[in-house]
Amino acid sequence: MKKYEILICSLLISLLMSCNKDESMIKKDINSRFVNAEVIEIKPDSANIHVAFNVLRSVHLRAGDAVINIFKQLYPENGKEPTYQNYLRAKMIYDTISKEMLDFEGSEYKYRDFCYLVKFLVPVNENKINHTEYYFINKNNGDVIHRSTDWKTFLLDHKYDEIIDEVLKYYGEILDLKMKIKQ
C-alpha cells in the first residue's frame, strides 16, 4: 500500500513541476514579446497549433512551387506559344494547390494538441488590452509556440492572405490561356 502512495505522490509532484515549468516558459515568452504584460490565467486546453504551423509552412512552400510551375506552363521556354497541354498542366497544378489550401483553411478543429489557453493584459498607454492565445510546448525540443485563439487572425498574422493572392494571381491567366487556345 505504501508503495502505491509513494508512486502516486511522486507522479503528482512531477506533474506539478512540469506545469510550473510550462507556466514559466509561457510567461517568459509573453514577457519577451510585451513589456509589463500581466498574465491573468493559464489553463489546460486543446487546439490545432503544432500541426497548423507545420502545415502552414508546407502550404507556403508548396504554393511557391505551384506558382513557379504554373508560370512555366503559361510562358514556355524559347518564346513558344502555350499549348492545350500547357493549359491542362497549369490547371491541374492550380486545382491541386487550391484543394490543399482549402483543406488547411478548414483544419481549425482538426489535429488538436494539448496546449494552454493563456489570458493576459498588455499595457498600452494608460489602458490594458486583453489578449488570449493558445500556447503549445513541444516536449521534444522545448519550443514554445503560440497562436491567436481566432483562426482567421492566426492566418492573417502569418500572411496566409498573401499566399492566396499569389496563387489567385495566375488563375485569370490560366482562364485566358484556355480561351485563347479554344479560338
Dist CA 167 CA 53 (whole Å): 20
Assessment of whether the complete model's pTM goes beyond 0.85: no
> How far does Cα 84 stand from its chain's mean position?
36
Indicate the number of domains in the chain.
1
| 85-110 pLDDT tens trace | 888 999 999 999 999 999 998 888 88
Residue 163: all three cell numbers together: 499566399
Q: What is the mean pLDDT of the chain?
A: 85
Q: What is the pLDDT of residue 183?
A: 56
Predicted pLDDT at 2: 67
CA distances from 86 to 36, 111, 171 (A): 57, 37, 14
- Residues 142-155 have pLDDT tens digits of 889 999 899 999 99
How does strand 113-124 pair with strand 144-148?
unpaired
For the ranges 4-13, 14-23, 173-182, which has the lowest average pLDDT? Answer: 4-13
Look at residue 13 and tell me whether its pLDDT is greater than 60: no
Does 69 have pLDDT greater than 80? yes
pLDDT of residue 6: 60
Does position 127 have pLDDT exceeding 50, yes or no? yes
**Percentage of residues of the chain with pLDDT beyond 90:** 36
CA distances from 50 to 5, 47, 55, 56, 100 (A): 36, 9, 9, 10, 18
- Say how many C-beta atoms besides its own lie within 10 A of residue 103's C-beta: 12
Quickly state the pLDDT bin for 8 (edges 50, 70, 90). Answer: low
pLDDT score recorded for residue 136: 92
Average pLDDT over residues 132-138: 92
Q: How far apart are CA 115 and CA 44, in angstroms?
A: 6
> Whole domain around residue 170: which residue ranges?
2-182
